Amino acid sequence: MSEVRRSDPGTLNRYKNSAFLHTGVTCEACHGDSTGHVSSGGKIKVINPARLDAAKRDSICINCHLEGDVLVERAGRSALDFVPGESITDFASYYVYGGKAATARAVSEVEQFAQSGCKRASGETMSCTSCHDPHFTPDKEQRVAFYRSKCLTCHSNAKFAESHHPETKDCTSCHMKQTGAENIPHVAWTDHRILRIPEVAQPQRTPATKELAAIFPEAGTKRDLAMAYYKAMLAGDKALEPTAWGQLNGVRSDLAGDPEALDALGVMAAARGDEPSAADLFRKVLSINGNDLTALSNLGTIMAKEGKLEEAQSLLNAAFARNQDIPGLASNVARVDCMAGNSDAAKKVLQEALFYNPGLESLESLNTQMSHCPATNVR
């Protein structure tokens, strides 16, 4: 793949160099690190996906062709660390809402394929590469014959091949129709469920629920499920907050070295009005990672509300030094500087933020107010 880089430590989408190492999908996306292969003149072999066990083979495709409704990185792991030859479920867990049709999501080809009769009947012997050649894309004139030959590899009865709708050679036109996706409008996706009876609309058997389920349940953990509810809540479904809160607290004893989960508990504790508990949680995070943006910014805000301006400034300035582009953070840093009576520092912070957010009304308005310190309380 393009190999997106990690954000700089303590930042949100900030990179010292380019965000992507490559401008497109490379050989290494499927075959792994080629350094040894190149330096040895080909004597050291690269990874051959066809020789991997099914889980590791399929992980290479899953890495790009599966999102689910919520993706949760495993504790202490990053999906960016996945390399061919490993299992993607060691790095990430994928969750979907119960009852929601797989065709409602873009980038769900793997999920749809798993539901197909072809895959269920063939088991591990069938994979994405049974139909797709990673090294070759048929042109428009070759496409129908190319994919029909893939179907006839299994549906090999000669009489069937001759009698089954001989007027329509394109198997995909009936059995893998184009469908839309709710999360990416105006885009057509091929339905990888490979429906046997395409003429009949496939109804959603049960209405979508608020209950999340793992696509790979054997690899999920209680912590991952709790974080999935938390991430879904952050994405806009506030009704999931009690579930996320309850489930994370249910595994709190296992989260001592898990800064992401501790941050989640801290954010929810603060939102519930329990700022002392939130402060304790954010301090635990900073003892693990002193650059954690969520802990620095939230603990700084709590300290400012308690009137501990010196500590608040130290925390918020540490966060802002790496994230001058975040308007909300800049606003809080400026407010705390203003509360401390330092109008010049407050205005400097806002000017830096406006460099990345030119003309942003909220920053412009606050910048005008900074001439009259102390300003309003932090938010």
Residue 97 φ then ψ, to 5°: -75, 135
Residue 366 to residues 30, 336, 357, Cα–Cα distance (Å): 50, 12, 13
Whether pLDDT at 228 is above 70: yes
d(CA 379, CA 369) in angstroms, rounded, equals 16
pLDDT, one tens digit per residue, over 48-86 is: 999 999 999 999 999 988 888 999 999 999 998 999 999
Buried residues in 16-50 as b, exposed as e (16+ CB within 10 A): eeeeeeeeeeeebbbbbeeeebeeeeeeeebbebe
d(CA 94, CA 215) in angstroms, rounded, equals 6
**Mean pLDDT across 37-42:** 90
Whether pLDDT at 1 is above 60: no
Nearest to 260 by CA among 244, 242, 236: 244
d(CA 272, CA 200) in angstroms, rounded, equals 49
Whether pLDDT at 377 is above 60: no
Whether pLDDT at 128 is above 90: yes
**Mean pLDDT across 93-100:** 87
Whether pLDDT at 126 is above 90: yes
d(CA 300, CA 308) in angstroms, rounded, equals 9
The CB density around residue 52, as the number of other CB atoms within 10 Å, is 17
* Structural domains for the chain: 1-46 (no CATH), 102-201 (no CATH), 291-372 (1.25.40.10)
Nearest to 94 by CA among 70, 77, 78: 70
In the structure, what pLDDT confidence band is assigned to residue 158 with cuts at 50, 70 and 90? confident
pLDDT, one tens digit per residue, over 13-28 is: 666 666 666 566 788 8
Cis-peptide into 138, omega within 30 deg: no
Nearest to 326 by CA among 302, 294, 288: 294
Whether pLDDT at 288 is above 90: yes
pLDDT, one tens digit per residue, over 100-119 is: 777 766 668 888 898 899 99
Please state which of the ranges 9-23, 91-105, 141-155, 358-372 shows the lowest mean pLDDT: 9-23
Residue 125 φ then ψ, to 5°: -70, -20
d(CA 47, CA 26) in angstroms, rounded, equals 14
279 contact partners, CB below 8 Å, separation of at least 6: 266, 299, 302, 303
DSSP 17-86: S-SBSSSS--THHHH---HHHHHTTT-SPPP-GGGS-HHHHHHHHHHHH---SEEEEPTT--GGG--TTS
**Mean pLDDT across 288-305:** 97
Q: Are 68 and 92 in contact (CB under 8 A)?
A: no
Burial class of residue 277 in the structure, from the number of CB atoms within 10 Å of its CB (0-12 exposed, 13-18 middle, 19+ buried): middle
Whether pLDDT at 327 is above 70: yes
d(CA 151, CA 8) in angstroms, rounded, equals 47
In the structure, what pLDDT confidence band is assigned to residue 184 with cuts at 50, 70 and 90? low
**Mean pLDDT across 325-342:** 94
Average pLDDT, rounded, for the chain: 88
Question: Which position has the higher pLDDT, 260 or 11?
Answer: 260
**Mean pLDDT across 130-148:** 92
What is residue 6's predicted lDDT score, i.e. its pLDDT?
Answer: 67
What is residue 379's predicted lDDT score, i.e. its pLDDT?
Answer: 60
